[in-house]
A and B are shown apart, each in its own frame.
Chain A
Amino acid sequence: MAEVGLKLAFSLAQIAVVMGIVLLTVMVLTLAERKVLGWMQDRMGPMEVGPYGILQPIADGLKLFFKEDIIPAGANKFLFSLAPILSLVPALIGFAVVPFGPSRTVELFGYQFQPFVISDINIGILYILAFTSIGAYGVILGGWASNSKYSLLGGLRSAAQVISYELNVGLAIVGVLLLAGSLSLVKITEAQAGGFWHWYVFAFPFPQIFAFVVYVISAVAETNRVPFDLPEAESELVAGFFTEYSGMRFAFFFLAEYANMILVSCIAAALFLGGWNAPYPGTLLPENLAWIEGVVWFAAKVYFFLFLFFWLRATLPRLRYDQLMRFGWKVMLPIALGNILVTSIAAYLFPKG
């Protein structure tokens, strides 16, 4: 009984820490996005709240918290309240299987614990795919329940877009799974140890560079970010599926979008760029401090992807709807399928040790 209690307490502590870090990262991202966009457009970005505007996220959070909560007339109250929750929970739940640092165990009161991953289940990546696909319900139901034309159109666009690009995400990672021979994110990351030439973007026998490009583009589309932000295209649909939302319900959708960005960045880092492995063999720091290095490298890779999201937003115009669909089905899908074919042949010809 003591063991169960201890494990529960440790897991709860881990969950609290991970959620804290994710939500903190979201806060940083809201400011970073405005600052990066500002600098890229030769502006200063937010400067009013605190020195150089660094307290802006807190001001934004307080504003959202105190705003009036409006439910539009004729809206379906139950679904209108359910949608933001359905959108946020799947975005946060995926972090349960992401390895944030080296897979070592610590001993605490005589029991073994893994400090850097909440749960190393052997279908890790499928678990994440399953829950990200649930996130679409929040968007669709939110759009439908608002009783507004703009919201409904945004929700429907999102449904079509998420289904199309989810397929590409799933097929793009199959190549990595073939090479790693596992669905567990921890095992996949461990298989990429020993220098950047072992990362699956560059790895022998067949570099997953095509899969990587397909994954990154599809991930941007799945998180509804520019240039694939059709569900919320402000020049056509006001704000798409969350036009009618205000206050904390709006904040939930907002949090979900940023949490999803962090999640897809974590998966991209873990699957293609070696996760917490450094780009050189071994570690620079001594054995008992090596975990700091691992965590820093993981964070650096994740932030690189997050910066890419902002960079794309500052650079590219939005796609038209038919362009989006044609690109997803006629360009990305064949590339992903071809990659699976070639990778399977390569994995068959050069089986790993």
Chain B
Amino acid sequence: MAILFFFYFAGVIVLTSILVVTLRNPIYSVLSLLIMFFHVAGLYVTLEAEFLAAVQIIVYAGAILVLYLFVVMLLNVKREERYHSQFPLAALLGITILTEVLMLAFLRGFSSEAPAVAPAVGDSAQPGEAIAGTGNTETIGEALYSTYLFPFEVASLILLVAMIGAIVLAKKKVGEGEA
């Protein structure tokens, strides 16, 4: 059952991701992206990460994508023709990445062993046990503010810098606004 759900979500994610870049109408691209975000959230739910799923929808689908849609509508681009002469470059990049993926696959072999992941909470506890004990949200909170505190602080600092940058860009010079 879980496998079935995984392949459904994964399939739709791949399909809609391709549609995002191939569709000519930017509005339809945004809608494909919306469907993709929902299926990524669904994938999180199958992994028992409900908090992440909800945050995924609130942040990406609810805020960022609405802003995209806003800009696309304000610019009123019905069909975007500018970026369609990039086939040679795209093919070169695509072949490079495909080669890398294939090489990795052949070197490592197609073993079903999961890649080693750093344990999030404690050393002995299985991820599933930790979640069952306290709950998904608490587990993420604990991990974020203890094990991964430094990356968390760095990320918030980067966001702060971006925010200050936006304010500086948008600010009028003193005296200019009074006219």
Shortest C-beta distance, B61 to chain A (Å), equals 6
A332 at the B interface (CB under 8 A): no
Give B109-151 as 1s and 0s: 1 = Cβ < 8 Å from A's Cβ atoms.
0000000000000000000000000011100000000000000
Asked whether B104 is an interface residue with its Cβ less than 8 Å from the other chain, the reply is no
Interface size class on chain B is: 20 to 34
Q: Known contacts being A122-B137, A140-B70, is A134 close to B61, with CB within 8 Å?
A: yes
Cα A191 to Cα B54 in complex, Å, equals 23
Partner pick for A134 among B55, B57, B70, B73, CB 8 A cutoff: B57
Residue A335 at the chain B interface, CB threshold 8 Å: no
Q: For the complex of A and B, list the 7 residue pairs with the smallest distance between their C-beta atoms, beginning with the closest.
A: A133-B62, A126-B54, A130-B57, A159-B70, A123-B50, A130-B58, A130-B54
Closest residue on chain B to residue A132 by CB atoms: B62
Q: How far is the CB of A183 from the nearest CB of chain B, in Å?
A: 6
Q: A123-B50, A140-B73, A162-B66 are in contact. Are A183 and B137 (CB under 8 A)?
A: yes
Are B69 and A126 in contact (CB-based, < 8 A)?
no
Q: Decide if the interface of chain A is mainly helix, strand, loop or mixed.
A: helix
B19 close to chain A: CB less than 8 A? no
Are B73 and A144 neighbours in the complex by a CB distance under 8 Å? yes
**B12 beta carbon closer than 8 Å to chain A:** no
Q: Determine how close the nearest CB of chain B comes to the CB of A41; give it in whole angstroms.
A: 36
With both chains docked as a complex, state the minimum distance between the C-beta of A85 and any C-beta of chain B, in angstroms. Answer: 13
**Contact present for B58 and A126 (CB under 8 Å):** yes
CB <8 Å contact, A156 and B70: yes
Q: Mark A150-168, 1 if CB is under 8 A from B, else 0.
A: 0010011001101100100
Q: How far is the CA of A130 from the CA of B63 in the complex (A)?
A: 10
A16 within 8 A of B: no
| Chain A, Cβ-Cβ closest to B67 | A163
B63 neighbours in A (Cβ, 8 Å): 133, 163, 166
Chain A, 114-149, CB within 8 A of any chain B CB: 121-123, 126-127, 129-131, 133-134, 136-137, 140-141, 144
The answer to whether B58 and A133 touch across the interface, beta carbons within 8 angstroms, is: yes
Instruction: Determine the chain B residues whose CB is within 8 A of the CB of A36 once the complex forms.
Output: none
Question: Is B10 part of the contact surface with A, judged by Cβ < 8 Å?
Answer: no
Taken together as a complex, chains A and B put the C-alpha atoms of A123 and B57 apart, in Å, by 13
Residues of A within 8 A of B73 (CB): 140, 144, 152, 155-156
B62 touches A121 (CB 8 A): no
Q: Which of A121, A133, A140 contacts B69 (CB 8 A)?
A: A140
Among A79, A129, A140, the residue within 8 A (CB) of B66 is: A140
Known: A129-B58, A159-B70. A79 touches B27 (CB 8 A): yes
Query: Interface on B for A, CB 8 Å cutoff?
Result: 27, 34, 50-51, 54-55, 57-58, 61-63, 66-67, 69-70, 73-74, 135-137
With a cutoff of 8 Å between Cβ atoms, the chain A residues found around residue B50 in the complex are 121-123
- Picked from A79, A126, A134, A156, the residue with its CB within 8 Å of the CB of B51 is A126
Most chain A CB atoms below 10 A, which of B27, B66, B74, B136: B66
Interchain CB contact under 8 A, B57 and A160: no
Query: Distance in Å from the Cβ of B110 to the closest Cβ of chain A?
Result: 35
Could you tell me the distance between the alpha carbons of A183 and B137 in the complex, rounded to whole angstroms? 8
Complexed CA–CA distance, A129 and B74 (Å):
26
For B55, the closest partner residue in chain A by CB is A126
Pair B62/A166 contact, Cβ less than 8 Å: yes
A134 touches B62 (CB 8 A): yes
Additional 15 contacts, C-beta under 8 A, given A122-B50, A134-B61:
A76-B27, A122-B136, A122-B137, A123-B51, A123-B137, A129-B62, A130-B57, A134-B57, A137-B34, A137-B69, A144-B27, A159-B66, A166-B62, A183-B51, A183-B137
A326 to chain B, nearest CB (A): 14
Q: Which residue of B lies closest to A129 (CB)?
A: B58
Binary CB contact string for chain A from 263 to 275 against chain B (1 if under 8 A, 0 otherwise) = 0000000000000
Residue on B nearest A136 in the bound complex, by CB: B66
Chain A residues, Cβ within 8 Å of B67:
159, 163
What is the chain B residue whose CB lies nearest that of A152?
A: B73
> In the assembled complex, which residues on chain B have CB atoms less than 8 Å from the CB atom of A122?
50, 135-137
- Considering only CB atoms, which chain B residue lies closest to A159 in the complex? B70
In whole Å, how far is A158's beta carbon from the nearest beta carbon of chain B? 10
Bound together, the chains give a CA A144 to CA B54 distance in angstroms of: 27
Given the interface contacts A79-B27, A130-B54, A160-B70, does A123 sit within 8 Å of B136 by beta carbon? Answer: yes
State the Cβ distance, A222 to closest chain B Cβ, in Å. Answer: 12
Q: Which residues of B contact A144 (CB under 8 A)?
A: 27, 73
